[in-house]
Amino acid sequence: MPELPEVETIKRGLSCFLIGAKITKIDVKCPKSFIGTQITSKVNSIRRFGKALVIDLSDKNSLMIHLRMTGQLIFDPKSPNTTSNRFAAGHPSDNFIASLPNNQTRVVIYFDNGILYFNDQRKFGFIKVLKTTEVENDSFIKKLAKEPWNISPDEFYQNLQKHRNSSIKATILDQSVICGLGNIYADESLFAAKIHPATKTGRIARSQSDLLLQAAANVMEKSITSGGSTMATYVKPDSTKGDYLEKFAQVFRKEGAPCPRCQTTILKTKVAGRGTHFCPQCQKEQND
DNA sequence: CTAGGATCCTGTCAGC
DNA sequence: TGCTGACAGGATCCTA
């Protein structure tokens, strides 16, 4: 699910509501989804490390949240309590407009100004209590590479060299190579840079590496600007469902459609164990 | 050390 | 209708 742009969208959205708000109670509906003990304190700040969200609290604890494939965060302000006033982001689904909690609600965090629901169909995501001083020592956060707009072309290219025998798609999904890309933005970035997803990383030329890095930064910045997968784009004004992907995706879930550059039919295959979309004309195989 | 596959879990959809 | 397998916006663990 949520990749970096969606988590950034959540960070910005929740910051408006939660900075200074006090947690009054945490209701854990699925033990697997919450690691730690009951907490009651105020929110000092909200940070993001790649796809992980960190809520820093006044008692020197932090809540680290990773949504993985199907996690969602939905905040209902106490007043007025209507779905039109709701902030919802993460994996898009009808939960965004559903009455909550429901059978996919794993954790409910009560604040003095509203209720935050953590929904997660597949239970891969989690909320974990950490000492704030230990956040940057967390095993996941520690391994993260820099984000596309912070990593230098030299460093990115060097990181690629550690995975020369792996496909370029698998390599850029590795958060220790470049942080923030998931299955959508990997496909979109490779399309923008005109690189076949199955290309061996060792065959990526320096000029292609530079192009790919630029593409990743562009694609994700554009998505952050449009708000990731927020409810506003998921539910249209007439209350019918929309797909925010349609706004910018060139290849992701576009198999059978014409390539926006050359009209060749977009294909879907499997690379790195993941569904992979590309244009066979624009993104030629480079492997001998 | 890297590379690839299985795995965690629930739900939906296509194809018999 | 009911079953079955494939698949899903992620990351880790295990094996070779």
A122, closest nucleotide (Cα–C1'): B9
| Nearest protein residue by Cα to C1' of nucleotide C6 | A275
A259 sits within 7 Å of strand C by its CB: no
Among A84-88, A188-192, A203-207, where is mean pLDDT lowest?
Answer: A84-88
Among A70-84, A107-121, A191-205, A213-227, where is mean pLDDT lowest?
Answer: A70-84
Q: Is the pLDDT of residue A239 over 80?
A: no
**Alpha carbon A266 to chain centroid, angstroms:** 24
pLDDT tens for A89-105 read: 999 999 999 999 999 99
- Strand B, nucleotides < 7 Å from a protein CB: these are 1-11
Give the distance, in angstroms, between residue A169 CA and nucleotide C3 C1'.
Answer: 35
Q: Is the pLDDT of residue A148 over 70?
A: yes
**Residue by residue, what is the 3-state secondary structure of A191-228?**
HHCCCCCCCEHHHCCHHHHHHHHHHHHHHHHHHHHCCC
- For residues A227 and A36, the model is more confident at A36
User: What's the confidence (pLDDT) of residue A2?
Assistant: 87
Counts of helices then strands in chain A (DSSP H, E): 8, 12
| Nearest protein residue by Cα to C1' of nucleotide C9 | A1
Mean pLDDT to the nearest integer, A200-213: 98
CA distance A96 to A80: 17
pLDDT tens for A23-32 read: 999 999 999 9
Phi–psi pair at A89, nearest 5 degrees: -155, 165
pTM of the entire predicted model: 0.95
A174, closest nucleotide (Cα–C1'): C11
